[in-house]
Amino acid sequence: MTSSSILLGTSAAVGILVSSLYYLSEKKKKKKCHPTKCQHCKNINVDDPLRSAKIQRARLPSVIVLVRHGESECNADHTLWRTKPDNLVCLTPEGYEQAYEAGKRIESILSEFDNVATKCELCGGNNSDPTPNEIRRIHLVVSPFERTLQTAMAIRKSLEHLVVRSDVEPRIREQEFGNLQGDEFKAFREEQKFIGRFWYRFPTGESGADVYDRVKSWWHENILQVNQRVGYDPVQAMVVVTHGLTMRFVMMQLFNWSPTTFHSVWNADNCHIYVLRKDLSKPGVSPYIVDDRKGDTPKSSIGILVVLRSGEEKMFTLQDYLSIPPPRTSRHDLIKKRLALQYDELEEEDIVDVHIGDGTHKILTGTGAACGNCSETVPPNFDTIEKPCAPKEMSCRFPNFAWPEEHLIP
């Protein structure tokens, strides 16, 4: 073997050794803790295919506050929608007072999130970063309707020192009911009651499903991306001033409600607040839960057709349907237990079967009278004699709107 061959072989071996050392050095660097993560977050594998998604989840706002507008002119005068465009309907003096109080309440709610220890998304340890998890930066988002803009202005009085950005977002506006100012609107409302608010599309307007689509688009493009925008500092909270129906669709897309569950949920009252708190122990891209200790609790009820051991079939209204864990329609044993607890006349062992949302029922005559099938009470100003309930707002099947009909006006 010549000296040149030996030299060439030695050079190749040295090259391989240097390459190996460089590879090991780079691999060790990759495993170092990212400087922006908590002190517990060591030996993180940057090659984890879910690492980017986990970091994005960890950067989401700590809390989302959904607020319905204050009392509007149409809430007070149920005929005004005939002469005034929906987007121009303003707040009443009572609505302004509700909005000011809502602002104070939101400020108090957000102050309770100060110094909350957060769980590191990558390593599971508590964040020991010296910077507390204070709510110091709020992104305010508002529907472009006049009543929501006025509500947001009143709310902002209490949050001005925290709001760093505000956006008007058309995708969270009220459902478009179409160009209907005459008596034909009542006829379309009756059709909607029969078909269901999620499915029915008004002529020249929207269906509930249309609103759901744009609300879900907004959530994914705005909420989930708000802290991923280059050039903007992250925010710890978002306050969203919108409409009752829109709030329900935010919840529907977030918690994967079925249309049946959606129809069971009642509209939020004026200036009611739903607080969505980030919980990184939850799976998925939107790890939020309803914090009803700080905010209001969504109300829900649904009609249940009960088959008794005697062969009799009778309608009952199950309250707090949302508390039934999904899949709700298959939780027959739990539904039987809940009904027996809510109605003294029912014994769990006497219930043979339950059917969710079946049938219509009749309202009996008189103030305070109860439906013969579901025990719902007739409002004092509802005048009817043995009148079959419409299978939507006035039935056990779709009991998600308040009595009487005028409360349905947006």
The pLDDT-based confidence of 190 (bands split at 50, 70, 90) is confident
Nearest CA to 324 out of 309, 341, 345, 312 is that of: 341
Determine the Cα–Cα distance for residues 248 and 263; give it in Å rounded to an integer.
10
Tell me the per-residue pLDDT of 4-26, one tens digit each, with 9 for 90 and over.
555 555 665 656 655 665 555 65
CATH of 51-290, one of 3.90.1150.10, 3.30.420.40, 3.40.50.1240, 1.10.580.10: 3.40.50.1240
Tell me the per-residue pLDDT of 301-346, one tens digit each, with 9 for 90 and over.
999 999 999 999 999 999 999 999 999 989 999 999 999 999 999 9
Q: What is the pLDDT of residue 177?
A: 85
Residue 18 vs residues 5, 23, 227, 382: alpha-carbon distances, Å = 20, 9, 42, 88
Tell me the per-residue pLDDT of 267-311, one tens digit each, with 9 for 90 and over.
999 999 999 999 999 999 999 999 999 999 999 999 999 999 999
Q: What is the pLDDT of residue 9?
A: 57
Which position has the higher pLDDT, 10 or 39? 10
Residue 290 vs residues 211, 255, 315, 322, 402: alpha-carbon distances, Å = 21, 10, 30, 12, 22
Q: What is the pLDDT of residue 26?
A: 57
The pLDDT-based confidence of 129 (bands split at 50, 70, 90) is very low
- Chain-centroid distance of CA 19 in Å reads 54
Residue 353 vs residues 55, 305, 306, 320, 330: alpha-carbon distances, Å = 47, 8, 6, 20, 11
Q: What is the pLDDT of residue 395?
A: 33
Q: What is the pLDDT of residue 28?
A: 53
Model confidence at 356: pLDDT above 70: yes
**Percentage with pLDDT > 70 across the chain:** 70
The pLDDT-based confidence of 139 (bands split at 50, 70, 90) is very high
Domain residue spans in the chain?
51-290, 301-405
Tell me the per-residue pLDDT of 155-185, one tens digit each, with 9 for 90 and over.
999 999 999 999 999 999 999 987 766 677 7
Determine the Cα–Cα distance for residues 349 and 261; give it in Å rounded to an integer.
26
Residue 180 vs residues 146, 172, 191, 230: alpha-carbon distances, Å = 19, 21, 14, 44
As given in the structure block, the two tokens for residue 407 are: 């409360």
Q: What is the pLDDT of residue 45?
A: 57
Determine the Cα–Cα distance for residues 95 and 347; give it in Å rounded to an integer.
45
Q: What is the pLDDT of residue 219?
A: 98
Active site residues: 69, 174
pLDDT, average across residues 254-270: 95
Q: What is the pLDDT of residue 120?
A: 56
CB 20 within 8 A of CB 189: no
Tell me the per-residue pLDDT of 226-247, one tens digit each, with 9 for 90 and over.
999 999 999 999 999 999 999 9
**What angle (nearest 5°) sits at the alpha carbon of residue 385, between those of residues 383 and 389?**
85
Mean of the per-residue pLDDT values of the chain: 79
Q: What is the pLDDT of residue 143?
A: 98
H helix or E strand, kind and range, residue 306: strand 301-308
Determine the Cα–Cα distance for residues 41 and 24; give it in Å rounded to an integer.
21
Which position has the higher pLDDT, 225 or 392? 225
One-letter amino acid for residue 187 of the chain: A
